[in-house]
Amino acid sequence: MGTKLKYDRRSCKTLLFFLIVAAAFFAYGLVCVLFFDDNRAPIWLIFTATFGLMIGGPLTLLFAYVYADAKIYLGRLSHNGFVVPNTKAECGGMLEKLSRTGDPVTNNYSKDSVRSLILCIIFFLADIAGDIWYLLKWSRYQLEGASVLFVMLLIFHAVIFLIPALIFITQRNTNKYIDNVDIIDGRKPRMSIMSSILLLTILSGIGAFGVIQANSMTSYIYKSKYGRYEKTHEDFLSGASMDVTSDSLTDGVWNAEISDISPELSFEHVDGAEFYVIYMVDENSNSRLLWYASHVGDTAIPEGSVTGEYSGPDVTAGEEGHNLTVYVYALQGEPGRSIDLEIGDSSLSGDLYYYDILNVIDGSSSPDLYGNVISYGYVTGTFRNLS
């Protein structure tokens, strides 16, 4: 059947030409992105720059790999005594028909299998480093299941790199394998160093993708469990565990006095709480802030207390009653995020204040580290202006 010639001088020059063209396209797109303002650049410039980056970049990598493979292949042919042809037509595309300047030799590059095995170990360790990064990142979140995913990643990476490692070990045998620049004599051609690099790069990319997917999935699970992913306001209310009561509330209706003074408020003591936060909003006025008090130490707040800042509800006479809710949060320490609040501010509901601010231990991590609020509760009622 014969041994086919992979490259000739002309194909090598052609690959170099396409490599230069692809690299020029990529460089053009990169320069446009770095030195031109997107808001002022014409549409044709934006389009061609995007084309240069998205098409030129991958093509540059592709042609660089194939060109390097061709150069190594032709260099090894020459080193083995073959006269490298300008075109495959000169030898019918068969290695056996090439002229030689010396005695036939085989397995000059058998050490490619050893080099490939070493590279396999390096790529494997790189993916293991990604697994360790995943474990170290999520260990501080104390999320159940993260350690299981870590073990699964280890097994996955061990399996995908074990197969090529066994191949490289097997191909060290010069009695059964020859180089891809040798004439086939019944022995099998071993994988070249460039083919090994390509295979290991693909496998490492698959392994890295597995780490990325595991991280994304774990992040989603964590945010869904402790953050506000896919949670409604009712979900937040159902998680309240602190008893909060008010003598200013009778049969679900706030008394008229809270128009001018803050309501009476009592809530249970929570072990481990450093302080409490009181947060009262008008649910019918886009969560307009009526009462805010931080670093509260007492669990019984008398009516009209000067605790924090307070402003009565803005409900006109004859208007349908507004639903006013007082939230109380027990915090184990200072939140990892802060926000400037002013009485009368709107749109920050009690659940958003909990998820995005108070419950955050560390807002600089990704995702946020939650768990600062030990417990929370609320009391709600209707207020009507009867004047």
pLDDT in tens, 76-110: 999 988 999 999 999 999 988 998 887 777 888 99
Residues in the chain: 387
Weakest-pLDDT range from 11-25, 95-109, 198-212: 95-109
Q: What's the gap between Cα 66 and its chain centre? A: 31
pLDDT at 38 over 70: no
Average pLDDT over residues 237-259: 94
Residue 81 to residue 59: CA distance in whole angstroms: 33
- DSSP tally for the chain: helices H, then strands E: 8, 14
**Which pLDDT score, from 0 to 100, does residue 387 have?**
66
pLDDT band, residue 35 (cuts 50/70/90): confident
User: pTM for the full model?
Assistant: 0.78
The pLDDT of residue 42 is 80
Q: Which amino acid is at 57?
A: G
Buried b (16+ CB within 10 A) or exposed e, 265-294: bbbeebeebeebbbbbbbebbebbbbbbbb
Residues 67-73: what's their mean pLDDT?
Answer: 95
Strand-strand pairing, 265-267 and 309-310: unpaired
- As a whole number, mean pLDDT of residues 169-187 equals 91
- Contact by Cβ (8 Å): 193, 115: yes
Q: Ramachandran region of residue 2, left (φ > 0), alpha (ψ -120 to 50) or beta?
A: left
Q: How is residue 306 annotated by DSSP? A: -
pLDDT average, residue stretch 211-235: 91
Residue-level pLDDT at 169? 96
SS3 381: strand
The more confidently predicted of residues 36 and 377 is 377
pLDDT band at 126 (very low <50, low <70, confident <90, very high): very high
Contact between residue 379 and residue 245 where contact means Cβ atoms under 8 Å apart: yes
Instruction: Note the pLDDT of residue 372.
Output: 96
Crossing angle of helices 57-79 and 9-35, in 10° steps, is: 150
Asked if residue 187 has pLDDT above 70, the reply is: yes
Helices 9-35 and 43-51, axial angle in degrees (round to 10): 140
pLDDT at 386 over 80: no
